Structure 1
């Protein structure tokens, strides 16, 4: 057993996010073959991911605030603290905070065999898509 050193909070890159988003890693792949990735992600009001997919799916557990989540072609869903959402493998989706509330979630996924293929980032969510 080991205790990992604390990792500094990182601001997520504007190529993949709109608005202010911060990430705290909790679990990450290890040399012993463990592939789980978990992060605490905090979104300022109006902040959101770009459209993206995950090779092995993604689970989001809302811990604070109000989340907006949408799969490509589907309705925008509102989720609240205590709720958990699952995005199946390769489903195009985005998630972020509502327009007037901070939001925090735990993002949980498993790395693909090729870690570079775990998440595929697509185009930004437009303001029109976000507000519909």
Structure 2
């Protein structure tokens, strides 16, 4: 086991598919959705410059940033810089995206409540113009 893996709390997981990710990102599902808890939980790591496509969650999403620096944007709002310890709430059915900053990776835990409503609805890719529009 490498020194980096010894320090990681969670395994890196599987690489996310290129149809929903620009760049490289990893996903480790920690809690599968079921009819008892109706919540999915996982950890994601986005490499520098990586981000997911615009998407929404029928039951909403909560993100807790564990390490690094990332970006998050709700459609129509500004791109926000997020850092270790930040908590982000994405309302149900609202388009948003998130990922790493241009020069730093970001690791985050996501929680998808109310999974009986569905997990995610994917939309178009985040353009470079949208991604680089950090204020």
**TM-score of the two chains, using structure 2 as the length reference:** 0.86
* Aligned counterpart for 2:102 among listed residues 99, 102, 108: 99
1:28 aligns with 2:29: no
**SS at the partner of 1:128?**
helix
Structure-2 residue corresponding to 1:50: 53
**SS at the partner of 2:129?**
helix
Structure-1 residue corresponding to 2:89: 86
Instruction: Give, in whole Å, the separation in 2 of the partners of 1:122 and 1:8.
Output: 25
**TM-score of the two chains, using structure 1 as the length reference:** 0.88
Instruction: Give, in whole Å, the separation in 2 of the partners of 1:128 and 1:14.
Output: 19
1:29 positional shift: 1.7
Structure 2 unmatched ranges of 5 or more: 1-9
1:19 aligns with 2:23: yes
Instruction: Give, in whole Å, the separation in 1 of the partners of 2:12 and 2:97.
Output: 25
Structure-1 residue corresponding to 2:113: 110
1:8 positional shift: 7.7
Aligned length: 124
What is the root-mean-square deviation of aligned Cα atoms in Å?
Answer: 1.8
